[in-house]
Amino acid sequence: MTTQYVAVFGDPVEGNPTSIMQNAAFEHAGLDWRYLDIRVRAEDLQAAVDAARLFEFGGFNCTIPHKIAVIPMLDGLEPSAEISGACNTVVRRADGRLIGSNTDGSGFVWSIRDEGIDPAGLEVVVLGAGGAARAVAVSLALAGASRVTIANRTAPHRDELVGILDAKTDVEAVALPWEGTLAVPPCDVLVDCTPVGMGPGPAAEAHVDVDLSGLASDTVVCDLNPETAESAFLRLAAARGHRTLDGMGMLARQGAAGFKAWTGVDAPLEVMIKALGG
């Protein structure tokens, strides 16, 4: 039997624990599959996708900075990627076509529901407007959130995401300009979808430039950083008394969805959570 390969394409990929989680799941399920970490610079993404076709990878994940750029390189999209305009999971179909989906948003909603948080009727502030933010914002809107506010320093990206929410969901979508320190407005849930705090060394101790003093004590603060359960941002929020949720829950659940899409086998979620240190 030939080993089947999947991978993550990103820059950086150092510190991303997805390979540990997926390889533990493959071993537990008795599957001859291997998950690889592959650093791919932005200018090399097309070559990486072509290589995945050539070597008949079972699929691949895309992380920063490729979740949006990869879309025109694929043969089709599932609704999750088509609506959000971002793709984190690609599956090679039996006919060789590469089809993109987005499990980030559904993984996030799954993770907070497992923590007893129902998005329906909630007011949410999302920090960032990249691929992860698109997926999370759209999934929260489709899950019934009453208002989703997008804060981002780059106005065109922010306004584009607000436009997607306005056009494709029923949520009240709000654009929040971000210059200097952002005073986060009152909300039920705050989600950091930026890459700040990711990477090795001093970068891991950085956190987004925000003022949380306007939040009520019962606001839940989330960080999608996939590299650590104790990011600098979550430590800041916890010190103010907020309940915090790290990105590991979402990472495990979006990974479980990818595992099933690639292999056709139900993912061993508990094994994946344990591999992440949960």
Query: Which is the catalytic residue, given 67, 168, 260, 274?
Result: 67
Q: Where are the alpha helices (DSSP H) in 96-154?
A: 104-114, 131-142
User: How far, in Å, CA of 106 to CA of 194, rounded?
Assistant: 18
Residue 6's DSSP bridge partners are 35, 59
The secondary element (H helix, E strand) that includes residue 175 is strand 172-177
Residue in 150, 158, 161 with CA at minimum distance from that of residue 190: 150
Which residue carries 């909630």 as its tokens? 122
* Alpha-carbon gap, residue 94 to 60, rounded angstroms: 15
SS3 124: strand
Q: How far apart are CA 225 and CA 52, in angstroms?
A: 26
The H or E element containing residue 89 is strand 89-92
Structural element, H or E, at residue 151: strand 147-152
DSSP of 187-253, one letter per residue? -SEEEE-S-TT-SSGGGGG----EE-TTS-TT-EEEE--SS-SS-HHHHHHHHTT-EEE-THHHHHH
Q: Which amino acid is at 221?
A: V
> Does 260 qualify as catalytic in the annotation?
no
* Active-site annotation, residues: 67
